[in-house]
Structures are given as C-alpha cells and as structure tokens.
A and B are shown apart, each in its own frame.
Chain A
Amino acid sequence: MLKVNDVTLRFGGLTAVNHVSLELKEGTINGLIGPNGAGKTTFFNLISGVYTPNEGEVIFNGIKLNGKKCYEINRIGMSRTYQIINLFKKMSVVENVMVGLHPKLKSGFFSAIARTGSQKKEEEAAREKAYEWLDFVGLRSKALDPAGSLSYGEQRLLEIVRGLASNPKLILLDEPAAGMNSKEKEELDVILRKIQKLGVTILMIEHDMKLMMGITDYIFVLNYGKKLAEGTPVEIQNNPDVIAAYLGED
C-alpha cells in the first residue's frame, strides 16, 4: 500500500533522511522508532507532503506522492496526527471532527448561503457521523466543549478521530501515547486495535516500548536519518545494531 523508494531529504548541508526505503502491508500496525533526532517526524512530514524528497519516490496505492500537497494527499487516503498537538483549540470537540470530515462533504459556498435542502441534510449527516466518531474514542460527553479544554490524553484521542473521520486507508500517528497515563495507554491500545479492525493501516512513532512491542506487526528503526533495521518486534528487540543505537556502543 505505501512504498517508499530510496528517499533522501536535505536541508542545506544537513541530510535529514538518507536513502530510506520501506514498504507497508495493508491492514498492519507498523512502528517507526529511533533515538531522538533520528528523523522520524521529518520522515512523516516527507510522506504526508509537508516536504518533497530531493531523491527517491513515495508511492501510495499506486499513486506517486512526490510534489503533492498535504491536502491532496489527505484526499487520496492518508491522514495523520501530530507530535505537538495541533487541534483547532477554540472550536468545539465535535466541530474538530467535522473539519476532519471536510474532504468527504460536497456542499459549496453558494449552497451554504442558500442553505439548500441537500446542504442541510449533508450537515446533519456530518454532525451525526462526527458523534459516532466521538463514540469510537469515548468523547461524546465532551462534544460541545472547546477542544483546548480537554485533558492531554483526550486531546491525543481527538486528534486520532479527527484524522480518521476522512476514512483514510493509512493513518500516521506521531507519538499518540505521549502525555498519557498508564490507564489511558491501555485504552489507546484497545483503540488502535479497533482502528486496525476498520481496515486502516497504521504507521506510528512512539517511545513507549511496552505499547510498541505489544501492538505492532512490524517495526522500522531510524538512526541519523538512515534505516538501521526492520523486522518483527522480537527481531528488533534482539537486533544488536538497534541495541547499540539505543544504549550506545561499548
């Protein structure tokens, strides 16, 4: 489904992503790990259209993504969350999800002003759908609160459903468990499996190794912008290169 062929991204003299290749299988949960500054978030930004690679190509369901803008890539079926929470803080929780539904809705400027029958119906259906998504993560009771008033863990969950609302085939999750307590992490584990059941492929960056090793089917390791290793969680845990990168060489 996602195929990254030998991509390189440079910022001036700095090579942030260095000849990285990877391939995701449909319906799997994949992890992307690596020490701080390994280029994980930059790699996400590269796939999702914030940056265009200097070399190599990103292919998603047979479509080349190089040079496509973020909003176009979202419409092709790839959504994401952010390491630093990027919610629409002053908008209500349910409206945040409704913004996530944006690419699925059709009403335009003039039908909004005329408030045509079809526009009204679409709006009502969108609100209904947004509430269903809130049920998915248990946030319905907070639907009308400003997004900025939610707890840290709830904000992470809201970002996830906002990203899911457009029914993507692939979702990139950048540290979904950051700032969550252990109970919230357990809930997140359940939610991630529910997302997988929807048929959505997941690629996630996460520092919580317990969560990561327990839930992922496959893991990629980045170090200094290069791919250091890939494999199943068990393989990664026993890979001497990975251990060296995390613990420092002897």
Chain B
Amino acid sequence: MNKMKNLMNGKMVPKLLLAVILLLVPLLFQNFNYGLLICGFIAVYVIAISGLDLVFGYCGQISMGHAAFFAIGAYGSAIMHKYLHIPALLTMIIASVAAALIGALLAYPASKLVFHFLSLATVAFGEIVYQLAAQSPGGITGNFTGFYTESINLFGFQINTNTRFYYFALVCVVIFLSAKHRLVHSREGRAFLAIRENAHAADGMGINVRKYKVMAFATSAFYTAIAGGMYVHFVKFISPETVSNKQSVMFLTMLLFGGTSSLAGPVLGAASVLLLNEGLRFAERYQMLIYGVLLLAAILLMPGGIYGVIQKGQQKLRRVK
C-alpha cells in the first residue's frame, strides 16, 4: 500500500527507471562484450571503495593500504577454493570475514594514532601483504607468476560470462550499498560521523571512540575483501601487481574523485576513473601520473568530488525555484 503511494507520488519513478536501465545494460552491449567487462569491473570497484568510504568518508580515518584487504579477499578465496575444495562463493565470504578480523586487529592499536601516523601504518600493512603475496611461504600464492582459479558456481550455474557476472555483481552492489545505507543511518553510523567531526566531543557524549573506529575499519575491510573475491573469480587470475600500493592509491583516487560520505560518490568515482583508464589505454605508462593529477585536481578544485559538484548544483536549482 505504502509502496503504491510512493509510486503515485513519483518518488519511486527515478529508482525504477534506474533499475530498468541497469537491467538492460547487457542488451545495450550485445555486440560489445568488452563494455560489459568494464561494467563488471566498475561493480567490483564500487564495492571496494564503498568500504573505504565507510572508514575514510564517514569515520575520518585514512587507509593507504586497502589493496591489502583486496588481496586477502582475492588470494584467500582462490587458495581456499583450490586446496580445501570449498565452493567459491563461500570462500569469498570466509576470506572476507578473515579480512575483517585482520582489519580489526590492525585498527585496535592503530586507533590511538593520529591521522598521519595512521596513514603510515596502513602503508606499511599494505606493503607487508604485498610482500607476502609476492614471496609467499612455500609459494602458496604462486608468487610473481600469479594464481589461477575458477569462476563462481551458484548451485550448478556457472558465472562464467560477462553478462552473468554483470548480473551477479549488480546483485552484490545492491546488497552492499543498501547495507551501507542502513549502517550509516543508524546509531553506529552517527557514531562514525561524530568521531570524524569531533572525536573529543564524541568521547564526551558517551561514544567509545576506539570501538567504533575498529568497527568502521573491520567493516571497510570486509567490503574491500568481498570485492577482491569477486575480482579473482571474474578474472580467474590474480597476481601481486593487482594488489600493490598502486591499487590502494587507485581506491583513494576513485573515492576522492567521486565524492566521499555518500552512496553515489563511490559509484561515480569508480565509473569515471575506470572509463578514463580505458580512454587512456594508449598512455598506460603514465597511469600513475594521471592518477596523481586527478587526485590533486579533486582535492584542490572539487573537495566534494563529482557528487559534491552535483549536490551543489541541485541546491542552487532549489534556491532558484
């Protein structure tokens, strides 16, 4: 009844329209499979940086080593799948729970650190995980050669084409973005924001600052690890290069470029940076340079990212009305 009312009001119309467009994307790219591949990657990155947004955008804690959690999700899932013969979807979840626990262990002592020391600690953590992937004990990760794995098998249904993965990833994005939406609009989400805005006052208002910093960090690690798991079973291959500090910088670039502390920001950021990447394929050597310029431009020219610019535009429109 309520939903019908919303529909009449036109509140649901943009949402339904978006849903229809997203569902029809594979038709659009019928003769352009590569486009669908990019869409799949965008979905993976949306989840990864939505996680980073929880810790950076909402809780105000920096992580410069989030590729480490991507690695734990990807390698963890692929290795468990190969050696323990656990179905791929389950391994993704187990690996991501492990990533969340490792994130919590890292955040517990690190939550005492101020911003710049925290960023150094996370850089170091990212480097440790990278080194473990590149020179693993017993070569379990395949070291520099990389590690091959299989696609996800959902009760006999192989997610092995770009179209299938697109729909699978779309479901994941909907699940993880709505979970994020619910979390940030709750007592916990308010605690994250309060810590970002003023940690002393949050403490004074009865918020256990350390507990919520650890919670934000662990949740964030879970998201990014899930993205890592999605990635590895989509590409069916992972190598240390994918989880180097370059990836961590890419996550931050996407987030800052798209806009922090929102649902739409990470989507806009992942899509625009990945599309730009594709457009600049011929200049791959300058990838890091381009990220650097983008990051600087985002910080200096549009501190709220693309989404911030859109929001400001909307506010102006409303005032004109």
A residues with a Cβ closer than 8 A to B are: 48, 50, 69-71, 74-75, 79-80, 82, 86-91, 95, 98-100, 102-103, 105, 107-109, 112-113, 115, 119, 122-123, 126, 162-163, 166
CB contacts (< 8 Å) of A88 on chain B: these are 193-194, 197-198, 201-202
| Residues 179-209 of B at the A interface (beta carbon under 8 Å) | 179, 182-183, 186-191, 193-194, 197-198, 200-209
Contact in complex: A91, B193 (CB < 8 Å): yes
Contact in complex: B190, A102 (CB < 8 Å): yes
Q: Which partner residue on chain A sits nearest B186 by CB separation?
A: A112
Contact in complex: A79, B203 (CB < 8 Å): no
Contact in complex: A99, B188 (CB < 8 Å): no
Bound-complex Cα distance A119 to B198 (A) = 25
Bound-complex Cα distance A119 to B188 (A) = 11
Given contacts A90-B197, A102-B207, contact A119 B190 (CB under 8 A): no
Known: A95-B193, A98-B190. 7 other contacts (CB 8 A): A75-B206, A82-B200, A82-B204, A88-B198, A91-B190, A102-B207, A105-B187
Bound-complex Cα distance A75 to B203 (A) = 11
Contact in complex: B198, A87 (CB < 8 Å): yes
CB contacts (< 8 Å) of B232 on chain A: these are none
CB contact between A99 and one of B179, B205, B208, B219 (< 8 Å): that residue: B205
Contact in complex: A86, B206 (CB < 8 Å): no
Contact in complex: B194, A99 (CB < 8 Å): yes
CB contacts (< 8 Å) of A112 on chain B: these are 182-183, 186-189
Contact in complex: A99, B182 (CB < 8 Å): no
Bound-complex Cα distance A156 to B226 (A) = 44
CB contacts (< 8 Å) of A123 on chain B: these are 186-187
| Residues 153-182 of B at the A interface (beta carbon under 8 Å) | 179, 182
CB contact between B191 and one of A99, A119, A126 (< 8 Å): that residue: A99
Bound-complex Cα distance A7 to B205 (A) = 24
CB contacts (< 8 Å) of B179 on chain A: these are 113
Given contacts A88-B194, A109-B215, contact A166 B206 (CB under 8 A): yes
CB contacts (< 8 Å) of A103 on chain B: these are 205-207
Interface size class of B (residues with CB under 8 A): 20 to 34
CB contacts (< 8 Å) of B203 on chain A: these are 69-71
The residue in A105, A109, A166 that gathers the most chain B C-beta atoms within 10 A of its C-beta is: A109
CB contact between A162 and one of B191, B193, B205, B219 (< 8 Å): that residue: B205
Q: Can you list, as one digit per residue, whether each of B125-146 has a CB less than 8 Å from chain A (1) or not (0)? A: 0000000000000000000000
B residues with a Cβ closer than 8 A to A are: 179, 182-183, 186-191, 193-194, 197-198, 200-209, 215, 219
Contact in complex: B206, A113 (CB < 8 Å): no
CB contacts (< 8 Å) of B183 on chain A: these are 109, 112-113
Contact in complex: A91, B197 (CB < 8 Å): yes
CB contacts (< 8 Å) of A162 on chain B: these are 205
Chain A proximity of B60: nearest CB distance (Å):
11
CB contacts (< 8 Å) of B219 on chain A: these are 109
Bound-complex Cα distance A132 to B182 (A) = 24
CB contacts (< 8 Å) of B208 on chain A: these are 69, 71
Bound-complex Cα distance A79 to B311 (A) = 36
Contact in complex: A74, B204 (CB < 8 Å): yes
CB contacts (< 8 Å) of B189 on chain A: these are 112
Chain A proximity of B196: nearest CB distance (Å):
8
The residue in A70, A90, A126 that gathers the most chain B C-beta atoms within 10 A of its C-beta is: A70
Bound-complex Cα distance A90 to B192 (A) = 13
Contact in complex: B201, A86 (CB < 8 Å): yes
Bound-complex Cα distance A75 to B204 (A) = 10
Contact in complex: A79, B205 (CB < 8 Å): yes
Contact in complex: A107, B204 (CB < 8 Å): no
CB contacts (< 8 Å) of A99 on chain B: these are 190-191, 193-194, 202, 205, 207
CB contact between A80 and one of B190, B193, B204, B209 (< 8 Å): that residue: B204
The residue in B190, B191, B200, B219 that gathers the most chain A C-beta atoms within 10 A of its C-beta is: B190
Contact in complex: B205, A100 (CB < 8 Å): yes
Q: Which partner residue on chain B sits nearest A80 by CB separation?
A: B204
Chain A proximity of B204: nearest CB distance (Å):
5
Contact in complex: B197, A95 (CB < 8 Å): no
Contact in complex: A108, B205 (CB < 8 Å): no
Given contacts A69-B203, A75-B206, A119-B186, contact A102 B191 (CB under 8 A): yes
